[in-house]
Structure 1
Amino acid sequence: MRVTLSLTRAQHAQLSDHLLAGDGRESVALALCGRAAGSEIHRLLVHEIIEIPHEACPTRTEDRVTWPTSFLLPLLRKAAKRGMAIMKIHSHPGGYPRFSPIDDKSDEALFPSIHAACDGGAPHASAIMLPDGRIIARAHHEDGSPSPINCIGVIGDDLTFWHADDVAEEVPEFARRHAQAFGEGTFRRLRRLSVAVVGCSGTGSVVVDQLARLGVGRLVLVDPDTVEEKNLNRILNTVRQDIGRPKVAVLKDFIHCLGLETEVEAIERDLSEPVALRAVASCDIVFGCMDGVEGRQLLNRLATFYIQPYFDVGVRLDADGQGGIDQICGSVHYLHPGGSSLITRDAITDEQIRAAGLRRTNPDDYRDQVERGYIRGIDEDRPAVNGVNMFFSSLLMMDFLARLHPYRLDPNEEYASQTISLTIGSWLKRVDGDPDPVLARYVGRGDATPPLDQPYLDQGQGA
């Protein structure tokens, strides 16, 4: 089982300020971590940080810190009650890039007690922060054995991933020109990343195609629909013989035929179903390529719970059906946990969410309220042009690459959203707004009952 660790850029900064105090002595902190507990990948997600005051530590030297375990008790109670994990993290101000014999002895004494108190059998973690901010970590299992944490991700305006097995390897021929542009290190990170794409139609199929050709290691594709004849004008890599087949199955077959060794998991379900939620929660990064406001809001919430960067694309084409075009525009949103949301940015509204929910749960009442003018109806069959989809999907992909390997002259924080009108030739970028106060308390919460703290998602755990 692979174990990974994710935290936000703000959490990383908080830990850095405390652990690297500038006095050359070790410091220590504790973290309560949510979990994304899968059979093959177990993700630990920083939810709450407790800084152990320097003055409370009996010993602080350049290679040793001791601390009162009384600071651990409140976190243990929360972890035991909520099925969460405990992480101990301390600094190595001298830059020693591995666990020392002193660290080994300390962890051997600490983690059996944590496992006994939590009684869940799932791993906890110990970590070290180095002077340059890099984190190394290991998981501690119930049987007493440690194992390296395979990937540590810091999610903010920029994306940082440290991999335990990040060793130099020969770049395959198909990726040489990518590596020339973005470096071999970026290619190696892409090769180790797990990425979910939710929505595999017009924009989603373009995103899937580009991710596969970049050499992303694992793709999780989520879409409940099958290919129809009307989709052939915009779903990349589909042909007439695919009509009636699941969209995710068609794209999975294409990726396998491409032969670039990307692993693919195809989920022919709606995002709200348990098997889809679990699969997306297992990923490092999520792309949302959906028109529906309910799905977009749900994915924004899921990415907050599971500390995932969320890339969202939306396209609007207003036409009269007779060849007249009023507007062609689209937006790319980047959302990171603890920041603003699609709702606080007014990208989606409460009215739209209510209408979509009513349409799903009570179609007759929905039609009645639309006819009576109480709610605005949802456009179910909007115009679609492949070139428009490809333009905005490519913009989304370049935003992803910019955050993984910054190439823009301006900092990434200035590109929280980008809106382009092809009709009037305008390009508007915006910085992030205030944090969403509703979502902020769920950062790193991870697995919960009901899922995402939404009762309507509590459909059991079956596949």
Structure 2
Amino acid sequence: MNRTIVKFTKETFDELKSLLLADRNEKHAFLLCNLAQSSHHTCNTVFLVDKIVIFDEKEISVSAVHVEIENDLVNGLFQQFVNGKHQALISCHSHPFEEGNVWFSGIDDANDQKLFEYFYTEITKHKPDAQMLTMVFGQKTIAARGYVKETKVFTSVDQIVVVGYPMKYITPVNKSHEDHTVDMKMYNRQILGFGEAGQKELSRLKVTLVGAGGTGSILAETLVRLGVKNLVIIDDDKLEDTNLNRWQGGKICHVGRYKVNILKDLLYPIAFDLKIKTFESTLFNEEVIDYIKDSDVVIGAVDSNKARYLLNRMALAYLIPYLDCSSGIVVEQGNIKELSARNVVVVPAATHCFNCEEVYFKKTEFAYDFVSESMKKEAQRRKYIQVEDISVKSPSVYPLNMLSVSTLSLEFMNLFWGYKDKMLENTYINCMTLENQGQKIAWEHQKPNSSCIDCQDRVALGDRAKVWELFFKEG
């Protein structure tokens, strides 16, 4: 099923609405966008809004029912687009007088057809893969459409996504709403708390889980029991007997099978209408990357900083929330010094990312995951880096994994159900540490760092980011 989706960061969406609906006169803006196009069976096209271009009102003619822009201004913008790196344009205007469902007017139809014809006739000579949409904003609703040049027919945009706390999903008024049925009996107790609309929204999400180990196996079952119906699970490991103490649902008879396939067998009997896609693969696989960029949310249960950084870059480039779940036990001289369950929530343009000020790990440790084994040994020999032997397995227990998953699940629920603006005012959670026989809970909430190159220069780049080229091979 081919779908067209428009994604905004909350900051950009709020800015655009404030510009277009500043008063009772019509306003016009262009959006410079990048694209995310998946090549698997869904063939979705996502417009990732990067920049807003709005003309000075002294240069255009506006009234309560009309806005007219000189051809020279539009041609100048098109030339800027042709010479730049962006891959798509969206032409937006407002009907500020419309309090109900907003629609394209007859004048809009005529103007948009001319605009689309010019774009797909002239602009695509210079950028053959460029695409365009138009949108109209009312006070409470939005209409959006594309165009098929060959048939001269307008097409519907399926969804508008605003990435923030909470996530916001808007169905354009000119698109027929796809109603999702929910098993009212199974989810009755959740619906009592969070409402039927929220439960339906959860059933529409495509969630990708990277990692099917001790933490990932608990997460997979938790997501299905919450009501996620479309789940992608990625892991190349097989279950070992040493995993059984903490692997959710694992039995002796499962040892030797791929973890993702065991999970699929365990999850299908839990709920109706599940769609589970599994990859017996590492994260560093082009087909896997293609599925990830088509996700509504990505959850990481990985033990590699290289994998975390790839997911971080994917989240920023494709405007996908990324939630990371981990736990650890530090033992010194036979005594437990620290128990920790760490969760990180990366919401593009709204929170810290993994690369901001070494909040989550030191860059020396992070860089260690990107070099070959021989380089690692040489760096350790020369004392350039001090790291533990990664061949030695770290301690792990089921209750600590459960603690980490439970806390992250609350963050996940809030991100899509929005029962608080910011869950406990945090994006980084160190749930529990044990130091000197005492316990502490640390909460941190951080905005993107102005000096972080990822947060400042790599948001909403889409396929232009070519993230997969940086990580295509391990080592």
- After TM superposition, the score normalised by the length of structure 2 is 0.87
Superposed, 1:354-373 pairs within 5 Å as: 354-358=367-371, 362-373=372-383
Whole-angstrom CA distance in 2 between matches of 1:97 and 1:10: 23
Quote how far apart the aligned CAs of 1:169 are: 5.8
The 3 A distance-change label for structure 1 pair 186 and 29 is same
Match of 1:124 among 124, 132, 157: 132
Counterpart code for 2:255: I
Aligned to 1:2: 3
Whole-angstrom CA distance in 2 between matches of 1:169 and 1:454: 37
Quote how far apart the aligned CAs of 1:285 are: 1.2
Superposed, 1:307-322 pairs within 5 Å as: 307-320=319-332
Counterpart code for 2:119: I
Aligned to 1:43: 46
Are 1:25 and 2:30 an aligned pair?
no
- Deviation string 1:140-182 (CA, Å, 9 cap, x unpaired) is 3453433322221111232111235556665312122221111
Structure 1 segments unaligned to the other structure (5+ residues): none
Of residues 303-312 and 90-99 in structure 1, the stretch that sits farther from structure 2 once superposed is 90-99
Counterpart code for 1:76: F
Aligned to 2:272: 260
Aligned to 1:103: 108
Superposed, 1:45-194 pairs within 5 Å as: 45-58=48-61, 60-68=62-70, 69-78=74-83, 84-95=87-98, 96-116=101-121, 117-118=123-124, 120=128, 123-132=131-140, 134-143=141-150, 144-163=152-171, 164=175, 166=177, 171-172=182-183, 173-194=185-206
- Deviation string 1:77-120 (CA, Å, 9 cap, x unpaired) is 157x66x1111122221234233333222221111222232354
Counterpart code for 2:18: D
Aligned to 1:14: 15
Quote how far apart the aligned CAs of 1:138 are: 2.4
The 3 A distance-change label for structure 1 pair 357 and 64 is same
Aligned to 1:240: 252
Aligned to 1:293: 305
Secondary structure at the residue paired with 1:15?
helix
Whole-angstrom CA distance in 2 between matches of 1:225 and 1:139: 43
Q: RMSD of the TM alignment (CA)? A: 2.5
Structure 2 segments unaligned to the other structure (5+ residues): none
The 3 A distance-change label for structure 1 pair 246 and 167 is same
Residues 209 and 233 in structure 2, CA contact (< 8 A), matched pair in contact too = yes
Whole-angstrom CA distance in 2 between matches of 1:202 and 1:354: 25
Counterpart code for 2:28: V
Aligned to 1:431: 445
Aligned to 1:418: 429
Counterpart code for 1:330: A
The 3 A distance-change label for structure 1 pair 249 and 146 is farther
Whole-angstrom CA distance in 2 between matches of 1:32 and 1:186: 31
Whole-angstrom CA distance in 2 between matches of 1:421 and 1:428: 8
Match of 1:349 among 355, 362, 365: 362
Quote how far apart the aligned CAs of 1:296 are: 0.6
Residues 307 and 337 in structure 1, CA contact (< 8 A), matched pair in contact too = yes
Secondary structure at the residue paired with 1:112?
helix
Counterpart code for 2:54: E
Counterpart code for 1:329: S
Aligned residues: 448
Counterpart code for 2:31: A
Match of 2:227 among 203, 210, 215: 215
What is the identity percentage for the equivalent residue pairs of Structure 1 and Structure 2?
24
